[in-house]
Every structure is written in structure tokens, then in C-alpha cells.
Amino acid sequence: MSILINKDSRVVVQGFTGREGTFHAQQMIEYGTRVVAGVTPGKGGQIHLDRQVFNTVEEAVQKEGADVSVIFVPAAHAADAIVEAALAGIKLIVCISEGIPILDMMRVKNYLRTTDSRLIGPNCPGVITPGEAKVGIMPSRIHRPGVVGVVSRSGTLTYMAVQQVSDLGLGESTCVGIGGDPIIGTGFIEILDLFQADPRTEAVVMIGEIGGTQEEEAARFIKERMNKPVVSFIAGQTAPAGKRMGHAGAIISGGKGTAAEKMDALREHGVRVVENPTDIGVCVREALTK
């Protein structure tokens, strides 16, 4: 078992013929993901990477039965691409694109609430169920199938944690990058809920960062609703207030959203918090042997 995606997921790539879309679609196909079609408006009818290109996601759903979409279109068109996927009835939309204006995301998010679609991202590395399917841009080499669920707001920091978990022979059930923007489709709590219900997942790694109050809310959820061990690291313990640390969401404003607050909240609710990110793997192993 796994969450969100598996070997049967039928993936359509939006922004298929672009540079990013082509490169990562190729990587996903090599990994064994069932990429069934691509979409680039105006290029319908072409064949790209041995797959049919369609003008609309709707066509890809009707003709190829796509149920997952991954978006590589430029920021200016990304919000529209998300809406298009939802209109076509795609169940899981993974938006890799970064730089979407916050007011656009606000409208999109409110629209998605009226649909059955789930959005992961934007500005995220995507989702991978090792050994089954990869829908995103993470390096597949570091992953191996296993029992640890990983959920994170960042990219390369997650890869570092995954590497530790893989090197220790634990492996991952599914890894989800939820994205570094202030408004994202799916938050920690929803992913934690899925991991709790997933029989394969035995422990969870949650990587947060400064800004917002998502981690604090997740802490309460973990205490009330989870019995699987959770290990957490929060990036940005040394970040100053008022400076945006790369991700649009990573900013301490009005004294809120500091790493210390988040770490305290998590500890209080029974989460194993590591201060040094190189200790994540070992801490998970400890949690699993107890």
C-alpha cells in the first residue's frame, strides 16, 4: 500500500513539450510511472516521448483515462492549468511550477473546495511511491520501498532525509512534497491523516520550516489522531524575522512562525523533534524499534 499514487496511477503531464516537462516526463517514464499522455495547448495530435499530445486535459482523461496530472507550465499559466485539471475531473493534481501569485492561488484553492480534486503544491518536488510511481522531480536514485512516510515543505532538505532513511534500510512508503508557498493545495494534516490510515506506513518524517502555523496545527492533530511515531525537523532556527528565506511561505512576520515555537508545539504533543537534520534517519530507526 501507499498513499496518493501507485503503479496503477495514470499520469498526464501538463506542459509536456516544454523543456522542464520533457526532461522530467522522461525521468518519470524511466522510473516506471504510467505516463499515459501529455497536454500542450495548440500541439494536440503530435507524438512526444512516444505519447499522444492533447490540447486539453479533458481529452487526455477521455481518451487515455488519466487520473493524475503533473504541472510544469510557467507560473503565469500555472493557476489556469490547475483549474483545467480540476475541470477535467482529475483526482490528484501535482503542481511543480513555482512563482504563482498568491491571489491566484487563493481563488484556485477556493474553487478546488467545490470539486473532488486534490492539489499537491504548487512550488513542490511532487510525490513518489518508491518502486511504483514517481510524479515529480525528486531524484529517484535515493529512494527505496519501505515503511516510512515522508511529508515536507522543502525539496533538497527532504532528499537529505530520504537518503538517511534509505541508507538505514528502512525505505519509504510514499514521500510527499507539499510545497513552500503561503497557500498550498494540501497541508501537513491531510497527508498525516493518509499516512495514519495507510497499513504500510509505520512511521512518519515531517519536515517543516518557518512561517505560518501549519506545523502547530499538525502537532495537535498528531496528538489527537495518530498512534504512529512522527519525527520532525524544522528548518530556519537561525532565520531573522521579516526576511523571506527563499520560499514565499518561509517568513517570520509579526513574531509569528518561528522555528522555536513550532518545535515546542511539536514536542509538547509527543513528536520526536531533532535539532540537527543529520539525525533524522537515526531518530526514525529508534522510534521504530521501541
Residue among 52 and 186 whose Cβ is closer to other proteins: 186
Measured CA to CA, the distance from residue 241 to residue 249 in angstroms comes to 13
Q: Give the interface with other proteins as residue ranges (CB under 8 A).
A: 27, 75-76, 99-104, 106-107, 109-110, 137-139, 141-142, 152-160, 163, 180, 182-183, 207, 209-210, 212-213, 233, 235-240, 243-250, 254-255, 259, 275-278
Cα(251)–Cα(181) distance, rounded to whole angstroms? 10
C-alpha cell of residue 188 = 501537513
Catalytic residue among 24, 77, 143, 247: 247
Cell representation of residue 28: 518519470
Q: What is the dihedral of CA 28, 209, 287, 277, to 10 degrees?
A: 80
Is 247 annotated in the active site?
yes
CB nearer other proteins, residue 153 or residue 228: 153
Q: Cβ of residue 15: shortest distance to other proteins, in angstroms?
A: 16
Report how far apart, in Å, the C-alpha atoms of 70 and of each of 34, 36, 127, 230, 264 are. Answer: 12, 12, 10, 28, 35
CB atoms within 10 A of CB 77: 16
Q: Indicate the residue among 52 and 97 with the shorter CB distance to other proteins.
A: 97
Residue 248 C-beta: closest distance to other proteins, Å:
7
Contact 96, 53 (CB under 8 A): no
Of 5 and 234, which CB lies nearer to other proteins in the complex structure?
A: 234
The single-letter code of the amino acid at 274 is V
By annotation, the residues acting in catalysis are 247
